[in-house]
Structure 1
Amino acid sequence: MGKLFRNDNLGKLILRVTVGVLILFHGVHKILNPGSLDFISKQLSGINLPHALAYGVYVGEVIAPLMIIFGIFSRLGGLLIFGNMVFALVLAHRSELFTLTGTGGWALELQGFYLFSGLAVLFLGSGRIAIKPD
C-alpha cells in the first residue's frame, strides 16, 4: 500500500481520539450524575480503601481522556486510564472476569478496550499530531 496508509502519527491520533472520546462520555455522565460516586465509594469501602479515592474517577474518565485527545502528556493520560480501568475491574467487575455474553463475546469487552487502549497510548505516546508531541 502507498504512503497514505503508512502514517504512524495519524494512527496514533485515531487511537487517542477514539479511546479519549469514548471514555470521556463516561466521565461526563459521572459529572452530570454525581450520585454515581456513591456506588464507587461503597465498593472502595468494601475493600478497606478511603472514600476519597472515588474522586479519582474524574481523573481517569475526564482529565486523562482530555490529555490524550489533545496530546498533552499522552503517555501519562494512558497510564491514568489504565489505572482507572484496573480499579473498575477490581471494584465492579470481578465476577464477570471469566464470563461470556450470550453471543460468545467477553462480558468485559468495553472495559478491556479501555484498559488495553490506555496501555497502548502509554507505550505509543501521542505521535506528532498533538499539542505536545512526544
Structure 2
Amino acid sequence: MLHQPDIAKLLLRLSLGILILFHGIHKLIYGLNGVSAMLSAHGWPLFLSYGVYMGELIAPIFIILGLYARVASGILAFNMLTAIYLAYGFSLSTSKYGGLSWETPFLYLIMSILVILLGSGKYAVNSK
C-alpha cells in the first residue's frame, strides 16, 4: 500500500526540483548576465554568479532524485535568500497583481525549508 506522507514528500520534491530546474536551464542557455549585474550593483565578486548553477541546476537534480535532498534543499534555500536580497531587497512592494514582488522565490524558499524539515521520504534514491 502506498504511504501517503511519502507520496506527499515525493510530490513536494518533484515540484520544487522540476520548477527551479527550468530557471537553471535558462541561465545555462542564456548566461548569467542578469545575476552578474545584480552582484556588481551590490559590490559582490562576480565569481559568485557561478553559485547559481549549483543552486538551480545541480541541487534540483539531487532534490528530484531524493539524493541528499536535505543538503541540496539547504543550498537552494540559501540561493533563494540571496536572490530575494539581490533582486528585491526584501521590500514589501507588490506586483501588479497584488502579491509580493518576490513571491515566487519566497515560495521556492519555503518549499526548500519543507524538504529540509521533512526529508526525502520512502520514494528517494537514498531513503532510509
Q: Verify same fold: TM over 0.5.
A: yes
Structure 1 runs (4+) deviating above 4 angstroms are none
Normalising by structure 2, we get a TM-score of: 0.91
**The residue matched to 2:81 in structure 1 has which SS?**
helix
Looking at structure 2, the residues matched to 46 and 61 of structure 1 have their Cα atoms a distance apart, in angstroms, of: 21
Distance (whole Å) between structure 1 residues aligned to residue 37 and residue 93 of structure 2 = 24
Counterpart in the other structure of 1:38:
33
Matched, 1:129 2:123: yes
Aligned to 2:107: 113
Aligned residues: 128
Unaligned segments of structure 2, at least 5 residues: none
Choose which of 21, 25, 48 in structure 1 pairs with 2:22: 25
Q: CA RMSD in A?
A: 1.7
The TM-score with structure 1 as length reference comes to 0.87
Amino acid at match of 1:27: G
The amino acid across from 1:52 in the alignment is F
* Cα deviations by residue, 1:55-87 (Å, 9 ceiling, x for unpaired): 000011011110110000000111011001011
Q: Percent identity?
A: 38
How far, CA to CA, are the matches of 1:72 and 1:10 in structure 2?
Answer: 16
Give unmatched runs, 5+ long, in structure 1.
Answer: none
CA shift, 1:93, in A, is: 1.4
**Correspondence 1:43-122 to 2 at 5 A:** 43-94=38-89, 97-122=91-116
Secondary structure of the residue aligned to 2:121 is: coil
